[in-house]
Chains A and B, each alone.
Chain A
Amino acid sequence: MSVKRDSLAVGVAVGAAGAAFGAVSVSDHFSILQTCILSLVLFSGASQFALVGIIGSGGSALGAIATGAFLGTRNGLYGIRMAALLQNRGWRKLVAAQITIDESTGMAIAQSDAATARTAFWYTGFGVYFFWNLFTLLGALGAKALGNAAAWGLDVASPAIFVAVLWPRLLKRSTKLAAVFAAVWALSLTSFLPVGTPILTTVIIAVIAGWK
Protein backbone atom coordinates (compact mmCIF):
# COMPACT_ATOMS: atom_id res chain seq x y z
CA MET A 1 0.00 0.00 0.00
CA SER A 2 1.46 3.29 -1.07
CA VAL A 3 0.68 5.24 2.10
CA LYS A 4 2.87 2.82 4.08
CA ARG A 5 5.69 3.12 1.55
CA ASP A 6 5.42 6.93 1.47
CA SER A 7 5.37 7.11 5.26
CA LEU A 8 8.49 4.96 5.59
CA ALA A 9 10.23 7.04 2.89
CA VAL A 10 9.57 10.14 4.99
CA GLY A 11 10.95 8.24 7.98
CA VAL A 12 14.23 7.45 6.22
CA ALA A 13 14.65 10.95 4.74
CA VAL A 14 13.94 12.81 7.98
CA GLY A 15 15.69 10.23 10.12
CA ALA A 16 18.91 10.72 8.16
CA ALA A 17 19.11 14.25 9.56
CA GLY A 18 19.61 12.51 12.91
CA ALA A 19 23.23 11.99 11.82
CA ALA A 20 23.68 15.77 11.78
CA PHE A 21 22.14 15.98 15.25
CA GLY A 22 24.39 13.24 16.61
CA ALA A 23 27.47 14.97 15.22
CA VAL A 24 26.47 18.47 16.35
CA SER A 25 25.56 17.25 19.84
CA VAL A 26 28.91 15.50 20.34
CA SER A 27 30.82 18.53 19.01
CA ASP A 28 28.87 20.64 21.57
CA HIS A 29 30.42 18.39 24.26
CA PHE A 30 27.44 16.16 25.00
CA SER A 31 28.40 12.52 25.61
CA ILE A 32 27.26 9.81 23.19
CA LEU A 33 24.87 8.50 25.86
CA GLN A 34 23.35 11.96 26.45
CA THR A 35 23.05 12.47 22.68
CA CYS A 36 21.20 9.17 22.23
CA ILE A 37 18.91 9.82 25.20
CA LEU A 38 17.92 13.17 23.69
CA SER A 39 16.89 11.43 20.46
CA LEU A 40 15.14 8.55 22.28
CA VAL A 41 13.27 10.57 24.90
CA LEU A 42 13.13 14.23 23.84
CA PHE A 43 12.60 13.17 20.18
CA SER A 44 11.90 16.58 18.70
CA GLY A 45 14.46 17.85 16.19
CA ALA A 46 14.17 21.60 16.71
CA SER A 47 14.20 21.28 20.52
CA GLN A 48 17.22 18.97 20.39
CA PHE A 49 19.29 21.22 18.10
CA ALA A 50 18.35 24.34 20.11
CA LEU A 51 19.23 22.69 23.40
CA VAL A 52 22.70 21.46 22.43
CA GLY A 53 23.41 24.74 20.60
CA ILE A 54 22.61 26.84 23.66
CA ILE A 55 24.58 24.65 26.08
CA GLY A 56 27.43 24.31 23.56
CA SER A 57 27.78 28.09 23.28
CA GLY A 58 27.94 28.43 27.08
CA GLY A 59 24.28 29.27 27.72
CA SER A 60 22.43 28.70 30.96
CA ALA A 61 20.67 25.43 31.78
CA LEU A 62 17.40 27.27 32.36
CA GLY A 63 17.61 29.04 28.99
CA ALA A 64 18.19 25.71 27.24
CA ILE A 65 15.33 23.94 29.05
CA ALA A 66 12.86 26.77 28.43
CA THR A 67 13.75 27.18 24.74
CA GLY A 68 13.55 23.40 24.21
CA ALA A 69 10.17 23.28 25.92
CA PHE A 70 8.77 26.27 24.00
CA LEU A 71 9.79 24.64 20.72
CA GLY A 72 7.88 21.55 21.90
CA THR A 73 4.54 23.38 22.31
CA ARG A 74 3.81 22.78 18.62
CA ASN A 75 3.74 19.02 19.24
CA GLY A 76 1.17 19.54 22.00
CA LEU A 77 -1.11 21.27 19.51
CA TYR A 78 -0.61 18.45 17.02
CA GLY A 79 -1.58 16.08 19.84
CA ILE A 80 -4.99 17.69 20.19
CA ARG A 81 -5.73 16.98 16.54
CA MET A 82 -4.17 13.51 16.49
CA ALA A 83 -6.04 12.39 19.65
CA ALA A 84 -9.33 13.10 17.89
CA LEU A 85 -8.19 11.08 14.87
CA LEU A 86 -6.62 8.12 16.72
CA GLN A 87 -9.16 7.66 19.57
CA ASN A 88 -6.54 5.82 21.67
CA ARG A 89 -6.77 4.70 25.30
CA GLY A 90 -4.18 3.85 27.95
CA TRP A 91 -0.64 2.95 26.90
CA ARG A 92 -1.40 3.49 23.21
CA LYS A 93 -2.02 7.15 24.05
CA LEU A 94 1.47 7.35 25.61
CA VAL A 95 3.11 5.80 22.55
CA ALA A 96 1.14 8.02 20.17
CA ALA A 97 2.13 11.11 22.19
CA GLN A 98 5.83 10.30 21.90
CA ILE A 99 5.69 10.06 18.09
CA THR A 100 3.47 13.14 17.67
CA ILE A 101 5.79 15.37 15.62
CA ASP A 102 5.73 17.55 12.48
CA GLU A 103 6.09 14.65 10.07
CA SER A 104 3.63 12.12 11.56
CA THR A 105 0.98 14.84 11.92
CA GLY A 106 1.71 16.26 8.47
CA MET A 107 1.40 12.85 6.76
CA ALA A 108 -1.81 12.06 8.70
CA ILE A 109 -3.63 15.27 7.79
CA ALA A 110 -2.61 14.90 4.13
CA GLN A 111 -4.78 11.73 3.79
CA SER A 112 -8.38 11.77 2.58
CA ASP A 113 -9.95 9.22 4.98
CA ALA A 114 -9.51 8.49 8.69
CA ALA A 115 -8.27 4.89 8.35
CA THR A 116 -5.49 5.89 5.92
CA ALA A 117 -4.65 8.88 8.10
CA ARG A 118 -4.14 6.59 11.12
CA THR A 119 -1.88 4.30 9.07
CA ALA A 120 0.13 7.33 7.89
CA PHE A 121 0.50 8.59 11.47
CA TRP A 122 1.84 5.31 12.91
CA TYR A 123 4.09 4.39 9.98
CA THR A 124 5.60 7.87 9.69
CA GLY A 125 5.97 8.26 13.46
CA PHE A 126 7.67 4.89 13.98
CA GLY A 127 9.68 5.29 10.77
CA VAL A 128 11.12 8.65 11.80
CA TYR A 129 11.67 7.39 15.37
CA PHE A 130 13.64 4.33 14.26
CA PHE A 131 15.83 6.06 11.67
CA TRP A 132 16.32 9.28 13.68
CA ASN A 133 17.72 7.24 16.57
CA LEU A 134 19.81 4.95 14.37
CA PHE A 135 21.38 7.92 12.56
CA THR A 136 21.87 9.87 15.80
CA LEU A 137 24.10 7.07 17.08
CA LEU A 138 26.01 6.85 13.79
CA GLY A 139 26.47 10.65 13.67
CA ALA A 140 27.65 10.77 17.28
CA LEU A 141 30.19 7.98 16.70
CA GLY A 142 31.30 9.65 13.45
CA ALA A 143 31.84 13.06 15.06
CA LYS A 144 34.03 11.52 17.74
CA ALA A 145 36.30 10.41 14.89
CA LEU A 146 36.15 13.74 12.99
CA GLY A 147 37.57 16.09 15.59
CA ASN A 148 37.26 19.87 14.94
CA ALA A 149 33.58 20.55 14.16
CA ALA A 150 34.10 23.87 12.34
CA ALA A 151 36.54 22.30 9.87
CA TRP A 152 33.72 20.01 8.69
CA GLY A 153 31.00 22.67 8.60
CA LEU A 154 29.22 21.09 11.57
CA ASP A 155 28.80 24.45 13.29
CA VAL A 156 26.34 25.52 10.55
CA ALA A 157 24.45 22.20 10.32
CA SER A 158 21.92 23.28 12.93
CA PRO A 159 21.19 26.85 11.69
CA ALA A 160 21.09 25.55 8.08
CA ILE A 161 18.48 22.94 9.08
CA PHE A 162 16.50 25.70 10.83
CA VAL A 163 16.63 27.77 7.59
CA ALA A 164 15.24 24.83 5.61
CA VAL A 165 12.51 24.18 8.21
CA LEU A 166 11.55 27.83 8.67
CA TRP A 167 11.50 29.00 5.03
CA PRO A 168 8.28 27.22 3.92
CA ARG A 169 6.47 28.69 6.97
CA LEU A 170 7.14 32.28 5.91
CA LEU A 171 4.38 32.52 3.31
CA LYS A 172 2.55 35.53 4.73
CA ARG A 173 3.96 39.03 5.12
CA SER A 174 3.13 38.99 8.84
CA THR A 175 5.17 35.84 9.49
CA LYS A 176 8.11 37.17 7.43
CA LEU A 177 8.04 40.38 9.49
CA ALA A 178 7.90 38.43 12.76
CA ALA A 179 10.87 36.27 11.69
CA VAL A 180 13.05 39.23 10.68
CA PHE A 181 12.10 41.17 13.81
CA ALA A 182 12.91 38.17 16.04
CA ALA A 183 16.37 37.76 14.46
CA VAL A 184 17.23 41.47 14.85
CA TRP A 185 15.79 41.52 18.38
CA ALA A 186 17.81 38.48 19.52
CA LEU A 187 21.05 39.82 18.03
CA SER A 188 20.62 43.28 19.52
CA LEU A 189 20.20 41.79 23.02
CA THR A 190 23.26 39.52 22.68
CA SER A 191 25.72 41.86 24.36
CA PHE A 192 23.39 42.70 27.27
CA LEU A 193 21.89 39.37 28.39
CA PRO A 194 23.46 36.05 29.44
CA VAL A 195 24.06 33.53 26.62
CA GLY A 196 20.85 31.65 25.73
CA THR A 197 18.51 34.27 27.19
CA PRO A 198 17.96 36.59 24.17
CA ILE A 199 16.42 33.73 22.18
CA LEU A 200 13.85 33.13 24.91
CA THR A 201 12.66 36.75 24.85
CA THR A 202 11.56 36.37 21.20
CA VAL A 203 8.48 34.55 22.52
CA ILE A 204 7.21 38.05 23.47
CA ILE A 205 7.16 38.86 19.73
CA ALA A 206 5.04 35.76 19.08
CA VAL A 207 2.53 36.85 21.74
CA ILE A 208 2.32 40.41 20.40
CA ALA A 209 2.11 39.28 16.74
CA GLY A 210 -0.60 36.70 17.46
CA TRP A 211 -2.67 38.80 19.91
CA LYS A 212 -4.31 41.17 17.36
Chain B
Amino acid sequence: MSSTWIVVIATSAAAFGLKYLGHLIPARYLETPRFERITNYIPIVLLSGLIAMQTFTDKTKLVIDHRAAGIAVAFVGVIAKLPFPLVIIGAMATSAIVYR
Protein backbone atom coordinates (compact mmCIF):
# COMPACT_ATOMS: atom_id res chain seq x y z
CA MET B 1 0.00 0.00 0.00
CA SER B 2 1.38 3.43 -0.95
CA SER B 3 2.05 6.03 1.75
CA THR B 4 -0.66 8.25 0.24
CA TRP B 5 -3.26 5.58 0.99
CA ILE B 6 -1.95 5.28 4.54
CA VAL B 7 -2.37 9.06 4.98
CA VAL B 8 -5.90 8.95 3.52
CA ILE B 9 -7.02 6.08 5.75
CA ALA B 10 -5.22 7.10 8.95
CA THR B 11 -6.42 10.72 8.85
CA SER B 12 -9.98 9.64 7.99
CA ALA B 13 -9.97 7.24 10.94
CA ALA B 14 -8.55 9.87 13.30
CA ALA B 15 -11.07 12.50 12.16
CA PHE B 16 -14.02 10.15 12.62
CA GLY B 17 -12.67 8.96 15.96
CA LEU B 18 -12.55 12.55 17.22
CA LYS B 19 -16.08 13.31 16.01
CA TYR B 20 -17.47 10.12 17.61
CA LEU B 21 -15.53 10.66 20.82
CA GLY B 22 -17.23 14.03 21.17
CA HIS B 23 -20.62 12.31 20.98
CA LEU B 24 -19.60 9.73 23.60
CA ILE B 25 -17.97 11.71 26.38
CA PRO B 26 -20.17 13.49 28.90
CA ALA B 27 -19.68 17.24 28.55
CA ARG B 28 -18.50 17.78 32.14
CA TYR B 29 -15.19 15.99 31.56
CA LEU B 30 -13.96 18.33 28.85
CA GLU B 31 -15.71 21.61 29.26
CA THR B 32 -13.08 23.26 31.40
CA PRO B 33 -12.32 26.90 30.46
CA ARG B 34 -8.62 26.20 29.79
CA PHE B 35 -9.31 23.23 27.51
CA GLU B 36 -11.91 25.25 25.61
CA ARG B 37 -9.53 28.20 25.16
CA ILE B 38 -6.75 25.98 23.84
CA THR B 39 -9.05 24.12 21.44
CA ASN B 40 -10.41 27.46 20.19
CA TYR B 41 -6.88 28.57 19.38
CA ILE B 42 -5.88 25.35 17.57
CA PRO B 43 -7.74 25.98 14.27
CA ILE B 44 -6.67 29.63 14.36
CA VAL B 45 -2.92 28.92 14.58
CA LEU B 46 -3.08 25.96 12.17
CA LEU B 47 -5.10 27.80 9.51
CA SER B 48 -2.94 30.90 9.79
CA GLY B 49 0.23 28.80 9.58
CA LEU B 50 -1.17 26.92 6.57
CA ILE B 51 -2.03 30.16 4.75
CA ALA B 52 1.56 31.37 5.26
CA MET B 53 3.13 28.05 4.23
CA GLN B 54 0.94 27.51 1.16
CA THR B 55 1.53 31.10 -0.01
CA PHE B 56 5.21 31.76 0.71
CA THR B 57 7.02 28.42 0.60
CA ASP B 58 8.24 26.03 -2.06
CA LYS B 59 9.42 22.84 -0.29
CA THR B 60 11.86 24.26 2.30
CA LYS B 61 12.50 27.59 0.53
CA LEU B 62 10.75 30.91 1.17
CA VAL B 63 9.45 32.50 -2.05
CA ILE B 64 7.29 35.41 -3.14
CA ASP B 65 5.44 34.58 -6.37
CA HIS B 66 2.02 34.72 -8.08
CA ARG B 67 0.42 33.09 -5.04
CA ALA B 68 1.19 36.13 -2.82
CA ALA B 69 -0.78 38.35 -5.24
CA GLY B 70 -3.74 35.96 -5.08
CA ILE B 71 -3.77 35.83 -1.28
CA ALA B 72 -3.45 39.63 -1.05
CA VAL B 73 -6.66 39.83 -3.11
CA ALA B 74 -8.31 37.28 -0.80
CA PHE B 75 -7.53 39.53 2.20
CA VAL B 76 -8.92 42.58 0.38
CA GLY B 77 -12.05 40.50 -0.33
CA VAL B 78 -12.65 39.47 3.30
CA ILE B 79 -11.95 43.00 4.57
CA ALA B 80 -14.49 44.34 2.03
CA LYS B 81 -16.90 41.60 3.27
CA LEU B 82 -17.39 40.18 -0.24
CA PRO B 83 -19.33 36.90 -0.52
CA PHE B 84 -17.27 33.71 0.00
CA PRO B 85 -17.25 32.51 -3.67
CA LEU B 86 -16.13 35.95 -4.92
CA VAL B 87 -13.21 35.99 -2.47
CA ILE B 88 -11.99 32.61 -3.69
CA ILE B 89 -12.54 33.26 -7.41
CA GLY B 90 -10.89 36.70 -7.14
CA ALA B 91 -7.82 35.18 -5.48
CA MET B 92 -7.59 32.36 -8.04
CA ALA B 93 -8.03 34.68 -11.03
CA THR B 94 -5.37 37.11 -9.76
CA SER B 95 -2.90 34.33 -9.08
CA ALA B 96 -3.52 32.78 -12.51
CA ILE B 97 -3.08 36.14 -14.31
CA VAL B 98 0.19 36.94 -12.49
CA TYR B 99 1.45 33.39 -13.17
CA ARG B 100 0.87 33.74 -16.92
Real binding pair: yes
Name A's B-contacting residues (CB within 8 A).
Answer: 13, 16-17, 20, 29-30, 34, 37-38, 41-44, 46-47, 49-51, 53, 55, 57-58, 61, 64-65, 67-84, 88, 93-94, 96-98, 100, 150-167, 169-170, 175, 178-187, 190-191, 193-195, 198-199, 202-203, 205-207, 209-212
Rounded to whole angstroms, the CA-CA distance of A74 and B36 in the bound complex is 10
Partner of A206, one of B3, B41, B50: B41
A-B contact count (CB 8 A): 296
> Which residues from A are CB-within-8-Å of B41?
175, 178, 205-207, 209-210
Q: Is the CB of B71 within 8 A of A73?
A: no
Given A178-B41, A210-B34, is A34 in contact with B4 using a C-beta cutoff of 8 Å?
yes
Shortest distance in angstroms between A126's beta carbon and chain B's nearest beta carbon? Answer: 15
> Which residues from A are CB-within-8-Å of B52?
182-184, 186-187
Rounded to whole angstroms, the CA-CA distance of A96 and B16 in the bound complex is 11
- Of chain B, the residue at the smallest CB distance from A31 is B4
Given A42-B15, A183-B52, is A156 in contact with B47 using a C-beta cutoff of 8 Å?
no
Contact mask for chain B residues 28-60; partner A; CB cutoff 8 A; 1 contact, 0 none? 001100101111111111111111111111111
Q: Is the CB of B23 within 8 A of A51?
A: no
B interface SS class = helix
Rounded to whole angstroms, the CA-CA distance of A130 and B100 in the bound complex is 35
Q: Is the CB of B46 within 8 A of A70?
A: yes
Q: Is the CB of A153 within 8 A of B54?
A: no
Q: Is the CB of A163 within 8 A of B78?
A: yes
Partner of A190, one of B11, B62, B78: B62
Chain B interface size band reads 35 or more
> Which residues from A are CB-within-8-Å of B7?
51, 55, 61, 64-65, 68
Name B's A-contacting residues (CB within 8 A).
Answer: 3-8, 10-12, 14-16, 18-25, 27, 30-31, 34, 36-62, 66-67, 70-71, 74-75, 77-79, 84-85, 87-88, 91-96, 99-100
Partner of B54, one of A53, A78, A164, A178: A53
- Of chain B, the residue at the smallest CB distance from A79 is B22
Rounded to whole angstroms, the CA-CA distance of A20 and B77 in the bound complex is 18
Partner of B44, one of A51, A163, A206: A206
Given A13-B84, A75-B15, is A82 in contact with B23 using a C-beta cutoff of 8 Å?
yes
Shortest distance in angstroms between B19's beta carbon and chain A's nearest beta carbon? Answer: 4
Q: Is the CB of B24 within 8 A of A83?
A: yes
> Which residues from B are CB-within-8-Å of A167?
75, 78-79
Shortest distance in angstroms between A130's beta carbon and chain B's nearest beta carbon? Answer: 18
Shortest distance in angstroms between A39's beta carbon and chain B's nearest beta carbon? Answer: 10
Q: Is the CB of A16 within 8 A of B43?
A: no
Shortest distance in angstroms between A95's beta carbon and chain B's nearest beta carbon? Answer: 10
> Which residues from B are CB-within-8-Å of A202?
45-46, 48-49
